[in-house]
A and B are shown apart, each in its own frame.
Chain A
C-alpha cells in the first residue's frame, strides 16, 4: 500500500514568489491534514479536511495561504506571496477516521522543505 505522497520534496524560492505543495493521501483516508514544522519544533496544524470540507482552518494565515482538496482526495497548499518566515517543512498527513474515533493514527508524508531567500 502506497503511503502519503508529497511533492516537491524541496523548493527554494525568492521572497514574494508563489509556491504550491501537493499531497496525495492514502487511498480511502477521509481526513487530510496540513502541518507546518519549524526547525527543532513539533508540527503545527494549518488545516484539516474531512473529505472535501475544510473543517478546521483556524490556524491557516488566510492572507497568503490557501488550500483546496478537490473531490476529497488530493490536496494542494499554496502560499502567495511567500515571506522569509515561511521557510519550514510542510507536512501532509491522512487518517482513516476522524480524530477521536477508532485508531486516530496519522500517516505522514515525507514533507516539503521550503526555503525562502
Chain B
C-alpha cells in the first residue's frame, strides 16, 4: 500500500520555468522526504522536512509542509533539462519506523 499521493502525475514545462509538485498523505508523520529518480536508476535523496518545520530550502529546491492538511509541496525553481525525472515523497508514519513512498510525479523539462 502507498500512503502518499503526488499531484500532478505528470508535468511538462519549459526550461527556466518553475515546477511545483504536491504530496498528500494519510496519517501523522515524524518527517517527510523528497526523492528524485532518473529513468532506470535508483532514488536519490533531495531533502527532508520534519513535522515541526513548515518550510525548508536547499539550492533551487523549496519544500513546504502543512501537517494540518497532511500535505507537502516541492518547488524547483529555474528548472533545467537535467531536472527531468520522477519525484517521490516518502513519509515516516509515526510509530511505524518505515518510509512509505507516494506514486510519484513525472517531470519533463523541455530545452
Contacts and interface: CB of A to CB of B under 8 A. Distances in A.
Majority secondary structure, B binding face: strand
A110 B99 contact: no
B4, B44, B101: residue with the most chain A Cβ atoms closer than 10 Å: B101
Nearest to B95: A100
A103 to B, nearest CB: 7
Contacts of B59: none
Interface in B1-41: 1-2, 4, 30-31, 33, 35, 40-41
B25 to A, nearest CB: 12
Nearest to A9: B40
Given A4-B42, A106-B43, A109-B42, 14 more contacts: A35-B101, A42-B4, A42-B103, A43-B101, A44-B101, A45-B100, A48-B98, A91-B42, A100-B97, A104-B92, A104-B99, A106-B99, A110-B42, A111-B41
Contacts of B43: 43, 91, 93, 106, 108
Given A91-B42, A103-B48, A107-B45, A56 B33 contact: no
Interface residues of B, number: 25
A113 B40 CA distance: 9
A44 B45 CA distance: 16
Interface string A14-48: 00000000000000000000010000111111001
Contacts of A108: 35, 42-44
A78 interface: no
